[in-house]
Structures are given as C-alpha cells and as structure tokens.
Amino acid sequence: MAINWLFALKVVPWADVVQAAPAIVKGARKLFDTARASRPIAGREESYRGQGGDDVHARLRQIEIALQKRDAEQDAGAELIRSLAEQHARVVAAIELMRARMRVLFGISIGLTVVLIAITVWLVTR
C-alpha cells in the first residue's frame, strides 16, 4: 500500500502543481466574491394582493425564504471551496519544502557514502 502512494507521489508533476496553486486560490477567492455579490437584495417586497390576495403574497414570501436559504448554502459552499484552496496551497508548499529537504539529505548521504568508501579503500590499501 505504501508503495502505491510513493509511486503516486512520484508521478505527480509537482512543479506544475506548485505553479497552479496560486491560480487555484485566486479562482476560489473570485468564486467566493462572486457568490457573495450575486445574492439578491433582501427586504424588497411588492404587494400582490390585487392578484389573488394573501395566498400569492404568502407563496412569494415562501419563495423568498427558500432563495435566502439557497444563498446561505451557496455562500457556505463558496467559503468551503476558498478554505480548501488555501489549505491546498499550504499543503503544496509544505510538500515542495519536503522535496527540497529530501534532495539535500540525499546529496549529503551520497557524499557520506563516498567518504566512507574512500576511507575503507584507504584503510584496506594501507
């Protein structure tokens, strides 16, 4: 199971993911702002009493309440997307940092291996 994850992590083009992360965050913020800006103006009530009495007015009020609930759900969804995009950007940055550290540690281990082999050869030929 761990081998599959390691293979998956190696296959991912991390440079492309890191480059795309700011655009993803920007897009999520734009979606969040658009969702907030597109909500209808609340409190605007027109009287429809002349076209059917209280039934039409009550039905209109129910529709307005339903729309307000949908707007709240849309705002919550947009906020969630924005939050996930920001978390994604932080995860990608952390992974890129770990990859850089891994390369440094790999270089150090190769260097120490070369030094160890050189010392072993020197001790054997001495």
Neighbours of 57 (CB within 10 A): 16
Neighbours of 78 (CB within 10 A): 19
Per-residue pLDDT tens over the stretch 2-55: 556 666 666 667 677 777 777 777 777 777 777 767 665 554 444 444 455 678
Alpha-carbon distance of 116 to 80, in angstroms, equals 53
Threshold 0.95, pTM exceeds: no
